[in-house]
Structure 1
Amino acid sequence: MKIILHLFIFLLIGCNASSQKKETSELDGEYNIQDVLIETRDGAKVSVIIVRKNEITEPKPVILQSTIYVRDKGGDLNTLKESANKGYIGVIAYTRGKRLSPNEIWPYENDGNDTYDVIDWISKQKWCDGRIGMFGGSYNGFTQWASTKKLHPALKTIVPYVANRPGMGLPMENNVFINPNYEWAFYVGNNKTLDTIAGNDRQRSRDMQNKWWENGIAYKKLDSIDERPNKWFQRWISHPSFDDYWQSMAPYKEDFSQIDIPVLSIDGYYNDSQNSGLYYLREHYKYNPQAEHYLIIGPYGHFGAQKGGFPEVNGYKVDADALINTNEITYQWFDYIFKNGKKPEKLKDKINYQVMGANEWRSASSITEMSNKSLKLYLTKEKVEDINLLSPEKPVEKNFHFQEVDFSNREIWNNDYYPDPIIRDYRDMGNGFNFISKPLEESIIVNGSFIGQLKVSINKKDFDFGVTLYEVMPNGEYFSLSYIIGRASYADDITKRKLLEPNKIETIRFSNTHLVSKKLSKGSRLLVYINVNKNPFSELNYGTGKKVAEENIKDAKEPLKIKWYNDSFVEIPIWKD
């Protein structure tokens, strides 16, 4: 069974902050470059670089980046100079503990308050006209949202790309811990800059992952296999619910109601952390319906969205129309906010999306308005050829598909869901169940995030599930559209675990699937693949009801026995012209 999971790097209160006494300033040709340590409300120090054009004498708007990635020898200075060249003051602030900061490094935990304090300090400098904008991707997208948990009056706009939401995209997705952030913690946490040796040692991480899988020890003991303590990982896995620890890092629920500044978000259909970035957008509109929040989204991965896309993503050659210039759009936006410039041309409405396969962009007033119809399809027992039928008719007689999963068997993996390659010439028939629709009688666009509910009964107290949506094209190839992995015990509430009752029919609702827009031609079919999530790329939920990170192979005495009932369904949003 083939499973490919990218090890991507993510990603993803008032104060009187003051600058540290030591401050350096130098002239670099046409630029004035300052190094400053800013003291935060609790006495920590944040390292900041400021770049201004020498000839500028009047105050200017400030473009701020807040990041954990220290590339001050080239990349960071270049982006700051670009801001200065475009008529702004460029500032970059590094996460507490990074670069010149003497403090301990704890990703995510202090960025909200520290960035607020940096903004407060900047707003009081003579070279700042009192207006600040922020931009950046992944972790830098997170810090922008973190700084809005309590909005500073000087912050006038943010432009987050593929923004991470700690506890929701990484290090766990729908309460399932996944592995990429394990090595990332060393990459950003081992020194004042970036530990490229530890962070890029993929073979060491793979070896550790495979040993854990083969040995069957508890997930929380990963670092004992590695023989290298990982304090960040240990702190994260001690919070398996989306509890106060995660909630405190960025806006949560009513916090969004006071975010009244314009926002431009950029994301990708194949961005691994898409559910993080779109969480912010959905919650912003939920708690502030009048929010001026725009989205640009297309066939981009995590890094592609930050650059404007690549001609090819996971083997799929994107439409020529899909490629944009993220950086150019960002500064058009800043000119629109700060200089009364034109709004970026791409922003026809609040939601602006590229339709894969149609080579066109479309717009809608909301994610809901992307679709004008939905297909509700049941996971039946009826066969079409050698596959179960995905039918619009609810089955009259209740029935089920039976699956048995032996967690002690490490020769078999379950849930081949990851969209790499996006187009494949096979479907996974090793385990789990496939359901296929009848051929489409006309072309449609799958537009949005599919939802659904699984009716199941199991002999244990919990399990992790996967649901993947494909287009089966007329030529027989499979186009990966969207997916979800999740933990059944958190299906109703990610903040509170509710164990399943063994051998009782339970309803597992899901909605946090990846948003996509793809034109399906006449004759295409939809295929839904369901399975129990069991593979080396994430925690292994044995179903005992104990903390999953503490379970081990001794808890695999009895295989999981699951009945997937035929009144389970998916609901797929579509647009029909």
Structure 2
Amino acid sequence: MKKTIIILLLLIGFGATAQEFKTTDSLVIQLKSGNELTAIVTQNRALKMPLPAILRYSIYASIASDKFFNSVSCARGYVGVTVYVRGKYLSRQQADPFAHDAQDAWEVIDWVSKQPWCNGKVGMYGASYLGFSQWASVKSLHPALKTIVRQSAVGIGVDFPAHNNINLGYSLNWIHYTTDSRLLDNKTISEFSDQKKWNAVFNTLFTIGKSFASLDTLEGRPNGKFQEWLQHPAYDGYWEKLTPTPSEYAKLNIPILTIAGYFDVDQSGALDYLKKHYHNNKNTEHYLVLGPYDHLGLQNMAMSPTVGGYKLDSVAIFKIYKLTFDWFDYVLKGGQKPALLKNRINYEVMGANRWQHAPSLEKMDTKKQTSF
């Protein structure tokens, strides 16, 4: 496993051959509630002093890939930490997506910050669900959490499990993917990727004229979480309690970097968080990088040269991990702010092969046309 990680690090540009990483993958964090979470911690043996810790707070329990992501943090001079939400890996509870992450986050960050290998500073990053979990983590801001970097953040109640009041069919598939097993094993992954099966289920639903609420029964596994979500088609208190309130946004003064895409299914959620933060905290140091990227592309280590057959401009192709860790160096180590962040809003103009910069979303447009 160590050899595989070193090869991967070399492929993405880290000179890792001389580096030795120590990974502990079965640490159990006991919570005051009586529940427990599991942590994976990776350290660079050559760095003996306490270091800032980079935390990924995830529902996708995949030991091998999470060791790799931890090692990327180590290669940049940090301790890499992945913590799984309730019900994953060694946690004995039933997984309940989104429900308890805000409640548990403060204790997670407190535990990380007090370990002998941590210097008391914690940063967080990650995409999709891991983008949501960062916003859940700042509802009650722990003083050790100094920054978050969120890519393609799920806007719970905004763009998932419904978008513009239209229920998303894959939400049922996703529930099974994240809750049927404590780890993402081959069976769980293959079922999630079985488009032939799920397309057949959706086609049957459409042709027999049943309600969307019958989807889980039609699929053969009635699901309480799926039915619970359907009871909240609008953004109501059920969803609001999972992420910061206006008063919590107003007190959120740590530097934040958001990376989002024009073609991302979670773009509306990512921008919803940003807009709420801007609205409630006028002086926040919250930067946006927005470009022609989709959901999967934003989760890669580097941007793909094409998205859905569209060839990206050369300036739009960059290494996400490098921007992320350059940001961590800026906030956690007093380094230079990444050069791309010339203003709060930084966006690539498709076809023009250039980045533009604006102080707000409203100032992005330079021309307005009111008639045709």
Correspondence list, 1:85-96, <5 A: 85-96=75-86
Q: Structure 2: how far apart are the matches of 1:240 and 1:268? A: 25
Amino acid at match of 1:162: S
Equivalent position of 1:42 in the other structure: 33
Q: Structure 1: how far apart are the matches of 2:315 and 2:329? A: 24
Residue 154 of structure 1 deviates from its aligned partner by 0.5
Residue 360 of structure 1 deviates from its aligned partner by 0.7
* CA shift digits 1:170-189 (9 cap, x unpaired): 11112221212221111111
Which protein has the bigger strand share? 1
Residue 344 of structure 1 deviates from its aligned partner by 0.8
Q: Structure 2: how far apart are the matches of 1:253 and 1:374? A: 31
| 1:223 counterpart = 2:216 | yes
| 1:349 counterpart = 2:343 | yes
Equivalent position of 2:248 in the other structure: 255
Amino acid at match of 1:266: I
Q: Structure 2: how far apart are the matches of 1:349 and 1:370? A: 11
Equivalent position of 1:171 in the other structure: 161
Amino acid at match of 1:209: F
Q: Structure 2: how far apart are the matches of 1:290 and 1:262? A: 11
Residue 282 of structure 1 deviates from its aligned partner by 0.7
> Where do 5+ consecutive residues of structure 2 fail to align?
1-18
Residue 315 of structure 1 deviates from its aligned partner by 2.2
| Residue 266 of structure 2, aligned match among 247, 250, 273 | 273
Residue 251 of structure 1 deviates from its aligned partner by 1.2
Q: Structure 2: how far apart are the matches of 1:108 and 1:201? A: 24
**TM-score, structure 2 length as denominator?**
0.91
Q: For the Cα contact (< 8 Å) 1:165–1:250, is it kept in 2?
A: no
| 1:371 counterpart = 2:362 | no
How much identity, in percent, do the aligned residues show?
A: 39
Residue 39 of structure 1 deviates from its aligned partner by 1.6
Equivalent position of 1:297 in the other structure: 290
Q: Structure 2: how far apart are the matches of 1:53 and 1:303? A: 29
Q: For the Cα contact (< 8 Å) 1:321–1:359, is it kept in 2?
A: yes
Q: Structure 2: how far apart are the matches of 1:161 and 1:264? A: 9
Matched position secondary structure for 2:243: coil
Amino acid at match of 1:324: F
Q: Structure 2: how far apart are the matches of 1:197 and 1:299? A: 29
Q: For the Cα contact (< 8 Å) 1:299–1:309, is it kept in 2?
A: no
Q: Structure 1: how far apart are the matches of 2:228 and 2:190? A: 23
Q: For the Cα contact (< 8 Å) 2:172–2:216, is it kept in 1?
A: no
| 1:338 counterpart = 2:332 | yes
> Where do 5+ consecutive residues of structure 1 fail to align?
1-28, 377-391, 393-436, 438-577
Matched position secondary structure for 2:23: strand
Work out which of the two has the higher radius of gyration on C-alpha atoms and give 1 or 2.
Answer: 1
| Residue 282 of structure 1, aligned match among 275, 278, 282 | 275
Residue 57 of structure 1 deviates from its aligned partner by 2.8
Matched position secondary structure for 1:300: coil
Correspondence list, 1:442-461, <5 A: none
Amino acid at match of 1:342: Q
Matched pairs, number: 349
* CA shift digits 1:259-317 (9 cap, x unpaired): 10000000000001100001111111100000000011110001112334322212222
Residue 364 of structure 1 deviates from its aligned partner by 0.6
| 1:213 counterpart = 2:206 | yes
* CA shift digits 1:6-54 (9 cap, x unpaired): xxxxxxxxxxxxxxxxxxxxxxx82222231112231111010111122
Residue 361 of structure 1 deviates from its aligned partner by 0.7
Q: Structure 2: how far apart are the matches of 1:241 and 1:295? A: 27
**TM-score, structure 1 length as denominator?**
0.59
Residue 104 of structure 1 deviates from its aligned partner by 0.4
Structure 1 range deviating more: 284-293 or 340-349 = 340-349
Equivalent position of 1:317 in the other structure: 311
Q: Structure 2: how far apart are the matches of 1:374 and 1:61? A: 46
Equivalent position of 2:8 in the other structure: none
Aligned alpha-carbon RMSD (Å) = 1.4
